[in-house]
């Protein structure tokens, strides 16, 4: 051990070192615990709650293509509805490949509301996007 370190250790009473270490340890634990709580809150804010899937019955009228593809259909009460096609499953992909083949057919669309980054729309916005489609029989 170097002479200057030895002299420094003699100048500080051992009880002061123990108190400082304990206090430092407590403060560090408090600070860390506070940070963890804050981080957990931030994580909860960032987590997207899974959107509940909804269904709509109607008649498929086509796919509009602009900046994004949109599934178009008319509901039983005559309302025209449109859903973003962002991450289609195989059932939707089949229609994208040949939409004219399916035009005029009755279907049930499963969709959800979600917040997505749509740069052409100015950034994050709530949209309705199609998840899947099943074809229904006419009554």
Q: Which domain holds residue 22?
A: 3-46
Chain segment 78-92, per-residue pLDDT in tens:
999 999 999 999 999
* Comparison of pLDDT for 50 and 121, the residue scoring more: 121
Same domain membership, residue 31 and residue 69: no
pTM of the model: 0.63
* Same structural domain, 61 and 118: yes
CATH number at residue 125: 2.40.50
pLDDT tens digits along 80-131: 999 999 999 999 999 999 999 999 999 999 999 999 999 998 999 999 999 9
Close Cβ partners of 104 (under 8 Å, ≥ 6 residues apart): 59, 60, 61
Q: Which helix (H) or strand (E) holds 12?
A: none
Q: Which two tokens stand for residue 56?
A: 């709509």
39 shares a domain with 61: no
User: How many structural domains does the chain have?
Assistant: 2
Specify whether 66 is located in the same domain as 40. Answer: no
Q: CA angle 133-137-139, nearest 5°?
A: 135
Q: Which residues pair with 129 in a beta bridge?
A: 84, 112
Length of the chain: 139
Question: pLDDT band at residue 51, thresholds of 50, 70 and 90?
Answer: low
Residues 39 and 68 in one domain: no
User: In this structure, are 38 and 78 located in the same domain?
Assistant: no
- DSSP strand E in 26-86: where? 54-65, 69-75, 80-85
Q: Are 82 and 71 in contact (CB under 8 A)?
A: yes
Looking at the structure, do residues 37 and 59 belong to the same domain, yes or no? no
Judgement on whether residues 7 and 38 belong to the same structural domain of the protein: yes
**Do 93 and 37 fall within a single domain?**
no
pLDDT digits (tens, 9 = 90+) for 7-45: 334 444 444 444 445 554 455 455 544 444 444 444 444
Q: What is the pLDDT of residue 35?
A: 44
Regarding whether 58 and 37 lie in a shared domain, the answer is no
């Amino acid at each position: 051990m170097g002479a200057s370190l030895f002299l420094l250790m003699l100048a500080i009473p051992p009880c002061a070192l123990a108190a400082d270490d304990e206090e430092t340890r407590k403060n560090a634990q408090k600070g860390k615990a506070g940070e963890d709580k804050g981080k957990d809150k931030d994580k909860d804010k960032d987590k997207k709650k899974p959107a509940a899937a909804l269904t709509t019955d109607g008649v498929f009228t086509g796919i509009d293509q602009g900046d994004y593809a949109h599934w178009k259909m008319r509901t039983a009460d005559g309302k025209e509805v449109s859903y973003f096609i962002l991450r289609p499953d195989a059932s939707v992909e089949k229609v994208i490949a040949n939409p004219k083949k399916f035009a005029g057919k009755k279907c049930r669309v499963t969709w959800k509301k979600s917040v997505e980054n749509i740069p052409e729309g100015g950034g994050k916005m709530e949209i309705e996007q199609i998840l899947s489609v099943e074809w229904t029989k006419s009554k």
